[in-house]
Structure 1
Amino acid sequence: MRHQRWFRITVLAVALFAINAVARLVVRIGFDDSDTAQNWATIVMFVLVALVLGVLTFIRCQRVKPSDWLPDVGFGALGGMLLTVLIGPFVSGNGPFANGAGDFFAQIWLYSGCAIAGTLLGYWLAVMLGRDYRSKALKAYTQNRAARPRKIVRR
């Protein structure tokens, strides 16, 4: 079951939602009416989302092609965003549109931006270090090509 694609996507979505739920519970229990604490918890939550996606992308892009890991990460982040935006406010005791549509869509844009930034940073770091799937394949090809003796052509 762990090797099925939907399982990886679901685990990622639930993990990203858990980050949001913990941040909301910390603010609700510890700092109920503090705007500063809510802002800091939001910043920490978005940084953790970007960090989780960056680390996951860095690890996955070393082992498999981007066409295999990118949909997993993308749909997992999308699922996490939907859970965060639609179910997350109920953890804090509000509804999704309690603060208006502007805050609802602002949270979608912020979440999307942090998810994309974290994924890109993880992938770029792997490419910079030459540890991504394509760089490894090109290195193996070059080494294999150099190891063969030169073919002499007779006329």
Structure 2
Amino acid sequence: MSERWRGTAVLAVALFAVNVVARLVTRFGFDGDDTAADRVSLGMFMVIGLVLAAVAFVWGRRRPVAAWGADMAAAVGVALLLTVLVGPLLVGDNPFGGGAGTFFAQIWLYLAAAGVGVLLGYLLLTALGLDHRSQSLKRYAELRASKPRRVVRR
């Protein structure tokens, strides 16, 4: 069971690390420039979406959607909490300093980027016919088609 949660924990830490890097770049590279900070945030959300698309593509090949979907939701939830509550503290900001609107906007944008990333990764996997369900159906069809010849009694 620990093997299953190791991948989830690594994904959560990787998503949080992307956020920390974006916050540090914004803090030390573009301090006070809101336009650059917005671009760095947009880039961060794109990287998060791409990471989740790649993970959905890889995990979707090996396991059914119900198994990896729950793991991915847990990883995104933990990474979201770390991003919203711990991330601002790392650069000396207050998580609620921008007000409720900024706080909840960050949550919705994170969830939107995560949802789009997972959806794109899984749709690409399904379109290529490489997902777990398609492969199971392919193996079943091959097994049924290769039935041994029936012996005829006389």
2:11 paired residue number: 12
Taking the TM superposition and a 5 Å limit, the aligned residue runs for 1:14-93 are: 14-93=13-92
Measured against aligned partners, the alpha-carbon deviations of 1:62-98 in whole angstroms (never above 9, x if no partner) come to: 0111121111111001111110000111123211100
Superposed displacement of residue 21, structure 1: 0.3
What TM-score do you get using the length of structure 1 for normalisation?
0.92
Paired position in structure 2 for 1:145 = 144
Q: Which 5+ residue runs of structure 1 have no aligned equivalent?
A: none
Distance change >3 Å, CA 153–CA 38, structure 1 → 2: farther
1:82-121 CA distance string (max 9 Å, x none) = 1000011112321110000100000000000111111111
> Cα distance, 1:4 vs. partner?
2.5
Cα separation, 2, equivalents of 1:118 and 1:68: 18
Change (3 A) 1:94 1:146: same
Amino acid at match of 2:56: T
CA distance in 1, matches of 2:51, 2:34: 26
Runs of 4+ aligned residues of structure 1 deviating over 4 Å after TM superposition are 149-154
Higher mean Cα deviation, 142-151 or 92-101?
A: 142-151
CA RMSD between the two structures: 1.8
Distance 2:127 2:151 in 1: 37
* TM-score, length of structure 2 as denominator length: 0.93
- 5+ residue gaps, structure 2: none
Q: Which residue of 1 aligns with 2:102?
A: 103
CA shift, 1:6, in A, is: 2.6
Letter in 2 for 1:126: L
Letter in structure 2 aligned against 1:116: G
